[in-house]
């Protein structure tokens, strides 16, 4: 998402930005992605065009006349020009309403006045966005009464529900849904097959974060009321008990008191830890004989069983068939549609993932019959909604969503596509989506319009696909005086229109213009019903794109009505050649494109071009002497390129649509073109060329030697000799940036007394000296009254790399000085842009005075990337300063570990649905790779796929979606192009990676794709340690440390011995006096807790081993090298449980920022950092295993007998007992083994284990009696007195036999405890099965006697045996105690089993806490979903 800098709290409070959202959304004045219409707008953006840099202003007027254009300047809204010119811009109510949905700026008023019937009728627009809400006003019908939205599709799969499970109704007409809920079927629903497809989904997975946040607050309010009522009742019962039994001495009374207290504590903890994950909705699909139908049960949403019943739901079918939608509940007010795929086995529940798409659709085509001034640009146009923003990822687009959207647009025969999404790209005009989009334009004649981006004001900030793709029309964002005064509510409107500051600028990296045209970039338009408002103000190129798209829809409507051949080529030429110039400075084309769209002029052009060939010229440029890369423009950016003349070959190829006739269109095509350049003193070209279908090449000579420093823009264009009225038939954009060369030590650039008014931009282009690695900036603002906001932007361009962009938003509340630092690359031209937001200080008559200094520093090293090979050897580094004296202060840290994995399973399959069939007829193939990994401790991790990550548009594969789940199918994290960190607890996990393409061979090559699991390491905070955090961490250690923690807490509370943030040394010294633990021992404990590894530096090669020659810092003299060593991490610092072959990664810095005061909250280390890594070596060999071999060896015969015995025992567990014969054979074997090895406890324990695990027969009581008998045999085989005596003795740690005996005794104790545990469970089960109350008192006594025996040997409340304690407390009615033990078991388990949670719900329901039971049942669906969701 293109984020704006400098968010306002007001806007962010309403819609907080989501990580990695890449909607092309800018917020008016300084907010997060969305801004309420009622908000007062502060300045977020600045004037759209750059101020001419040195050398530009002098020739601006002279050059402007040479630039081809059909219009001179954009028109003001009627009745505003005079007022604006007088400095007193005023709005009437009608003009205010018009400003909320700007249309006059692009000539819509003039066009519709002349052609009222051409208001978009007959035009179909595909909205590639976050999903349009079909329920909102304005998007119901067109101006001629047709349905506005023809289809609503979730192209991402985020709303997919697996409905492959088929059930049949009971005699009472009910079915069991996928959630386990019993659902009543409406008897009026037709279902000839009587087969019902069922599925379920957590409803919050369909909602936006904003909606979820609102629902959570409202639902928690109701839950809190119920919980507080339960707390009051529990407290009342406790008080009554304490009043009745003031000093309970009896054990049972104490337990009863504890039970009441535990109930109260449980409810209070529930309130503290409440986390609403939302209710589960059941989805039912069936075929009614004609079409597939869907019904949804939403009873859990409102908490009212009379609302949301399945039987009351009005069934839906695919939206395109009946155009019906549903509403989940009155509480959420969220609409949805349903689409059924794959013969009912998959249902797509479509909701929007942001208000963005509905707003965009409203700008393009909203129709308000009662409020015509608020109509969209093309009220007669129809829409289809293609959701490309994935709700699972916030609203980030995915390759799957993009490709499916293109398939849908072609299938529906759309005329236009609007896409207000995008991001920076590695390569322009490259990638799978770009290829398919070009096919949609060239073959299927779809006009594709997209936003240019919101990363301005610097150049080279246009993003993909809008600003970097040849087949897509990129749109910049324009603000008019009327928009400023009305929609933005500024105190005083500017006197003329301008481009918003944040609107992205060209050129693209390959020299293409980047921005095609501009359109109004803000509006108050409809938003989804769940926002609880009808419309909202947003602005950005996201809004400019649908404004332009709506304008082009008017053009399409007119061309269709008048029989003019419709082609994206003709339309693009018409709108570009008739656009109104926003500025007469040639360089402003990089900001505004060819100008502001003018619909009426474009239609006149199209009418005149009716008989012309439908052709577009594609340009491919190479510099003489170079074969690659092939460019779309000429872009000279650097001092060397500007010091010599260069020659370029331009290949001009006519591009016809794929269905063009060879004989009628291609063969006769011939055009004689006269070539022009906008400055013949710099650009030399031939005068004429003749172009045929096979194309033509010509040369351009560029001589920038004598031009001044700064930005220069030129064009070479061709004019049809027979029809010069057509304007430029093709254009070759030529951008020349001649940077300033710096001198001095260190090199610096200073400019003083720069005066800024609202919207003013200053650009400077600097040749960054070779050897520079960071820059330090000082900015001083003065001479102003009201607060001022600025954008600082710097950009450097490096081949095959995204633009290196740094750009903070800066606010000056009063005259002051601010310091910044940022990394740079030496030898590359740096653009520095300083822009005052267009609405900052707009009502003030005082300009802002800026004094600015930028100083370059650098430390060059011989190894930019440092990689340790796992040995003990340090790495030698040679550092130099080429610019000035620098302080050398190396700092290296390893803060992450990356472990490589290969897939354990791979699956290739052709996707079954039509939504995955390309227009060419090819079916998309999916490759699913499964990886397994295990965490020995809780950690924050993220997956990393080096081949695919961080590229979406410039990637030849269309998907890289992944999800991480556990053995219970609970999904913890999912992602795509930009993986996110997720906190996971200790345990085993599965990661599935989903890659799509239509080429089987390409996917075959990825079957063994390497994936890394990247784990964050904890960082010690500046040598200090929060005492509370430290206590929390080490409290999980051994008894000594637990005693230590108790001492810490006591002393901390009772004395002032410890401050909250003591130094580590202070803590250790004080603690060593409290307990018998040395400082060294404590230090090792703390080292284990701190994973973050700091590396050391040495002046000697043996320093890491002998500890001598520590290197701290030095002063580098220009040109003089300084060498030192960086040592590998010591063995003690290496992480435990990290697999060999893993890599520790981090960063290393060398310099220090010197221009900042210590008071400044800035990092004192230089911002330039480099990669450093350490390969984890093989684990050390454990030689201790060979030591202490027992002197007493058993004979071969004895060892053989033991091996035979153990093998026979092991064989028992694998014995099949499915048939009666099998069971009989098993019993015979058991009898034989008992006879052969009488009273052998391991054998009897294995027999018990097999009996417990075998499938129970119909006679469950007999089975449990069999368990009891087997358990008794185990207990009877053990001499408990001897066992207790052996366990009480502490063996000599050096006596191997004693250690072995101890281990054997511990195993025997565990076998005894397991037998007692299983016996207790069996006794309890028998008691529960006897429903007639026939349980004898002796049986109850047996359970209690067995339990008391168990607690002699083990902690019966532990995770392993706690279930028996829970049953015991439950038998006595002490449900609070049972809950306490059960909760502790769940918390101590790595991945608790479902049966524990089911038992927990049973206990809660027995107590009568319905609200808690409902809450826990919702969490069961989160923790234990019936299946993994579809990709």
Q: Which residues are catalytic?
A: 129, 356, 542
Whether 805 contacts 793, CB under 8 Å: yes
Enumerate the β-bridge partners of residue 510: none
CB contact at 8 A, 409 and 126: yes
Burial 431-458 (b: 16+ CB within 10 A, else e): bbbbebbbbbbbebbbbbbbbbbbbbbb
Rg of the chain's alpha carbons, rounded to an integer? 37
Please list the residues that pair with 795 across neighbouring strands: 805, 831
* Nearest CA among 809, 758, 785 for reference residue 490: 758
811, 817, 818, 847, 893 from 779: Cα distances, Å: 11, 6, 5, 16, 32
Asked whether the bond before 465 is cis by omega within 30 degrees of 0, the reply is yes
C-alpha distance from residue 1350 to each of 751, 1241, 1385 (Å): 84, 17, 17
Cβ-contact 374, 366 below 8 angstroms: yes
Virtual CA dihedral for 545, 550, 551, 552, nearest 10 degrees?
A: 90
* CA proximity to 1359, closest of 1333, 1329, 1393: 1393
CA angle 1283, 1289, 1292 (to 5 degrees): 125
Please name which of 545, 588, 98, 486 lies closest in space to residue 356, comparing C-alpha atoms: 545
- HSE, side-chain direction, 13 A CA sphere, residue 641: 19
Determine the longest span between alpha carbons in the chain, in angstroms: 114
Backbone angles phi, psi at 744, to 5 degrees: 100, 170
Q: Is the peptide bond before 457 cis (omega within 30 degrees of 0)?
A: yes
Q: CA 546 from chain center: how many Å?
A: 25
Start-end of H helices in 977-1063: 1000-1004, 1027-1034, 1039-1054
Is 126 within 8 Å of 405 (Cβ atoms)? yes
The C-alpha atoms of residue 1051 and residue 1071 are separated, in whole angstroms, by 10
Q: Is 583 in a helix, a strand, or coil?
A: coil
Which H or E run includes 409? Answer: helix 399-411
CA distance 917 to 912: 9
Q: Pairing state of beta strands 982-984 and 939-944?
A: antiparallel
CA angle 379, 385, 387 (to 5 degrees): 145
736 phi, psi to nearest 5 deg: -125, 125
The answer to whether the beta carbons of residues 732 and 589 sit under 8 Å apart is: no
Task: State whether residue 1266 is helix, strand or coil.
Answer: helix
Q: Name 272's Cβ contacts closer than 8 Å, sequence gap at least 6.
A: none
How far from 405 is each of 349, 414, 556, CA to CA, in Å? 16, 11, 21
Q: Beta strand 961-965 with 971-975: parallel, antiparallel or unpaired?
A: antiparallel
Angle between helices 1079-1089 and 1064-1074 (to 10 degrees): 130
Regarding beta strands 683-684 and 886-888, do their DSSP bridges make them parallel or antiparallel, or are they unpaired? unpaired
Q: Which two tokens stand for residue 503?
A: 């609107």
Instruction: Give the residue among 345, 413, 333 at the shortest CA–CA distance from 125.
Output: 413
Task: Answer yes or no: are the C-beta atoms of 517 and 576 closer than 8 Å.
Answer: yes
Residue 113: in which H helix or E strand, if any? helix 108-114
Residue 599 and residue 606 in contact, taking contact as beta carbons nearer than 8 Å: no
């Amino acid at each position: 998402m293109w984020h704006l800098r400098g968010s306002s709290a007001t806007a962010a409070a309403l819609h907080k930005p989501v990580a990695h959202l890449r909607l092309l959304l800018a917020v008016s004045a300084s907010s997060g992605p969305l801004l309420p219409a009622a908000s007062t707008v502060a300045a977020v953006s600045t004037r759209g065009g750059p101020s001419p840099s040195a050398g530009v202003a002098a020739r601006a007027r002279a050059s402007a006349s040479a630039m081809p254009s059909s219009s001179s300047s954009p028109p003001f809204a009627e009745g505003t020009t005079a007022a604006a010119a007088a400095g007193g811009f005023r709005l009437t109510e009608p003009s205010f309403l018009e400003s909320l949905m700007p249309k006059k700026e692009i000539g819509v008023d003039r066009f519709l006045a002349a052609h009222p019937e051409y208001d978009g009728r007959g035009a179909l627009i595909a909205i590639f966005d976050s999903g349009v809400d079909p329920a909102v006003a304005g998007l119901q019908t067109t101006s001629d009464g047709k349905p506005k939205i023809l289809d609503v599709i979730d192209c991402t799969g985020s709303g997919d529900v697996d409905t492959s499970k088929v059930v049949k109704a009971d005699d009472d007409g009910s079915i069991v849904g996928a959630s386990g809920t019993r659902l009543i079927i409406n008897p009026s629903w037709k279902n000839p097959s009587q087969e019902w497809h069922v599925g379920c989904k957590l409803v919050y997975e369909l909602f936006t974060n904003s909606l979820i946040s609102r629902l959570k607050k409202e639902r928690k309010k109701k839950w809190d009321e119920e919980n507080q009522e339960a707390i009051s009742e529990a407290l009342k019962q406790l008080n009554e008990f304490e009043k009745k039994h003031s000093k309970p001495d009896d054990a049972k009374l104490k337990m009863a008191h504890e039970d009441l207290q535990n109930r109260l504590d449980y409810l209070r903890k529930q309130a503290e830890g409440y986390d609403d994950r939302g209710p589960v909705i059941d989805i039912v699909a069936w075929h009614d004989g004609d079409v597939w139908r869907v019904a949804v049960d939403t009873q859990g949403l409102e908490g009212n069983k009379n609302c949301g019943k399945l039987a009351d739901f009005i069934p839906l079918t695919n939206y395109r068939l009946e155009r019906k939608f549903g509403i989940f509940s009155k509480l959420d007010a969220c609409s949805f549609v349903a689409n059924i795929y794959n013969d009912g086995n998959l249902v797509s529940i479509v909701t929007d993932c942001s208000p963005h798409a509905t707003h965009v659709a409203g700008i393009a085509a909203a129709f308000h019959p009662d409020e015509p001034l608020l109509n969209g640009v093309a009220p007669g146009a129809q829409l289809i909604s293609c959701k490309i923003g994935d709700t699972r990822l916030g609203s980030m687009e995915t390759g799957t969503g993009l490709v499916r959207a293109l398939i849908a647009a072609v299938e529906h025969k759309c005329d236009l596509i609007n896409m207000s999404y995008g991001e920076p790209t590695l390569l322009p005009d490259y990638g799978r989506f770009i290829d398919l989009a070009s096919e949609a334009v060239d073959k299927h004649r779809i006009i594709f319009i997209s936003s240019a981006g919101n990363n301005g004001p610097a150049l080279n900030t246009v993003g993909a696909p809008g600003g970097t793709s040849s087949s897509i029309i990129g749109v910049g964002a324009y603000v008019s005086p009327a928009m400023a005064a009305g929609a933005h509510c500024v105190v005083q409107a500017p006197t003329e229109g301008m481009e918003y500051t944040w609107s992205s600028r060209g050129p693209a990296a390959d020299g293409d213009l980047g921005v095609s045209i501009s359109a109004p970039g803000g509006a108050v338009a409809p938003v989804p019903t769940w926002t609880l408002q009808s419309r909202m103000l947003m602005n950005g190129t996201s809004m400019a794109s649908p404004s332009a798209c709506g304008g082009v829809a008017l053009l399409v409507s007119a061309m269709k009505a008048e029989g003019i051949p419709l082609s994206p080529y003709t339309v693009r030429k018409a709108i570009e050649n008739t656009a109104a110039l926003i500025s007469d400075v040639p360089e402003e084309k990089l900001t505004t494109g060819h100008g502001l769209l003018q619909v009426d002029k474009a239609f006149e052009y199209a009418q005149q071009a009716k008989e012309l060939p439908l052709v577009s010229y594609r340009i491919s440029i190479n510099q003489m002497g170079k074969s690659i890369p092939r460019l779309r423009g000429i872009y000279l950016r650097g001092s060397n390129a500007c010091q010599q003349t260069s020659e370029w070959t331009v290949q001009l190829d006519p591009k016809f649509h794929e269905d063009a006739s060879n004989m009628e269109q291609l063969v006769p095509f011939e055009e004689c073109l006269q070539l022009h350049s906008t400055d013949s003193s710099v650009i030399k070209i031939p005068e004429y060329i003749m172009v045929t279908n096979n194309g033509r090449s010509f040369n351009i000579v560029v001589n920038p030697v004598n031009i001044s420093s700064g930005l220069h823009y030129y064009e070479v264009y061709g004019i049809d000799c027979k029809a010069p009225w057509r304007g430029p038939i093709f254009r070759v954009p030529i951008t020349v940036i001649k940077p300033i060369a710096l001198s001095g030590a260190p090199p610096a650039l200073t400019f003083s007394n720069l005066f800024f008014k609202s919207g003013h931009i200053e650009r400077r282009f600097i040749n960054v000296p070779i050897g520079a690695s960071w820059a330090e900036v000082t900015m001083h603002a003065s001479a102003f009254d009201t607060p001022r906001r600025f954008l600082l932007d710097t950009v450097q361009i490096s081949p095959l790399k995204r633009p290196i962009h740094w750009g903070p938003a800066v606010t000056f509340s009063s005259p002051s000085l601010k310091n910044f630092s940022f990394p740079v690359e030496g030898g590359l031209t740096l653009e520095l842009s300083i822009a005052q937001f267009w609405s900052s200080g707009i009502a003030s008559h005082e300009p802002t005075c800026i004094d600015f200094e930028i100083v370059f520093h650098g430390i060059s090293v011989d190894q930019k990337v440092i990689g340790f090979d796992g040995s003990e050897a340090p790495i030698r580094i040679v550092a130099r300063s080429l610019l000035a004296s620098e302080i050398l202060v190396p700092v290296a840290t390893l803060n992450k570990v990356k472990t490589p994995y290969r897939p354990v399973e791979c699956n290739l399959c052709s996707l079954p649905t039509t939504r995955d069939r390309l227009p060419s007829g090819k079916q998309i193939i999916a490759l699913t790779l499964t990886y397994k990994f295990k965490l020995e401790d809780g950690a924050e991790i993220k997956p990393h796929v080096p081949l695919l990550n961080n590229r979406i548009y410039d990637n030849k594969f269309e998907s890289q979606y992944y999800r991480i789940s556990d053995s219970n199918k609970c999904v913890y994290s999912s992602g795509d192009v930009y993986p996110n960190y997720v906190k996971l607890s200790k345990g085993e996990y599965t990661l599935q990676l989903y890659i799509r393409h239509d080429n089987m061979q390409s996917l075959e090559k990825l079957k063994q794709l390497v994936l890394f699991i990247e784990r964050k390491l904890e960082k010690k905070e500046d040598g200090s340690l929060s005492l509370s955090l430290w206590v929390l961490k080490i409290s999980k250690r051994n008894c000594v440390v637990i005693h230590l923690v108790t001492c810490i807490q006591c002393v901390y509370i009772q004395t002032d011995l410890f401050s909250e943030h003591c130094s580590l040394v202070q803590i250790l010294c004080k603690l060593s006096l409290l307990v018998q633990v040395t400082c060294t021992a404590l230090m090792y404990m703390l080292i284990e807790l701190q994973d973050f590894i700091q590396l050391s530096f040495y002046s000697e090669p043996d320093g890491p081993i002998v500890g001598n020659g520590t290197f701290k810092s030095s002063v580098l003299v220009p040109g003089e090298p300084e060498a030192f060593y960086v040592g590998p991490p010591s063995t003690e610092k290496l992480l435990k449980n990290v697999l060999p072959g893993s890599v520790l990664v981090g960063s290393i810095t060398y310099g220090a920022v010197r221009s900042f005061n210590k008071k400044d909250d800035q990092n004192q280390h230089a911002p330039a950092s480099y990669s450093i890594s350490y390969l984890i070596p093989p684990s050390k060999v454990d030689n201790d295993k060979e030591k202490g071999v027992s002197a007493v060896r058993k004979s071969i015969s004895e060892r053989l007998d033991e091996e035979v015995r153990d093998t026979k025992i092991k064989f028992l567990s694998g014995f099949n007992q499915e048939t009666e014969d099998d069971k009989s054979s098993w019993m015979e074997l058991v009898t034989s083994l008992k006879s052969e090895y009488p009273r052998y406890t391991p054998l009897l324990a294995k027999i018990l284990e097999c009996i417990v695990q075998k499938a129970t027969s119909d006679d469950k009581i007999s089975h449990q009696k069999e368990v009891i008998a087997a358990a008794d045999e185990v207990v009877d085989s053990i001499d408990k007195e001897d066992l207790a005596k052996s366990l009480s003795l502490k063996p000599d740690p050096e006596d191997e036999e004693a250690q072995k005996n101890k281990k054997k005794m511990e195993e025997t104790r565990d076998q005894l405890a397991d037998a007692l545990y299983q016996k207790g469970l069996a006794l309890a089960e028998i008691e529960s099965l006897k429903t007639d109350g026939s349980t004898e008192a002796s049986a109850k006594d047996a359970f209690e006697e067995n339990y008391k025996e168990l607690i002699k040997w083990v902690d019966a409340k532990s995770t392993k045996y706690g279930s028996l304690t829970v049953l015991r407390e439950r038998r006595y009615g002490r449900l609070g105690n049972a809950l306490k033990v059960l909760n502790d078991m769940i918390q101590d388990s790595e991945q608790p089993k479902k049966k524990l949670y089911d038992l927990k719900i049973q206990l809660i329901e027995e107590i009568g806490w319905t609200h808690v039971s409902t809450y826990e049942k919702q969490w069961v669906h989160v923790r234990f979903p019936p299946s993994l969701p579809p990709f």
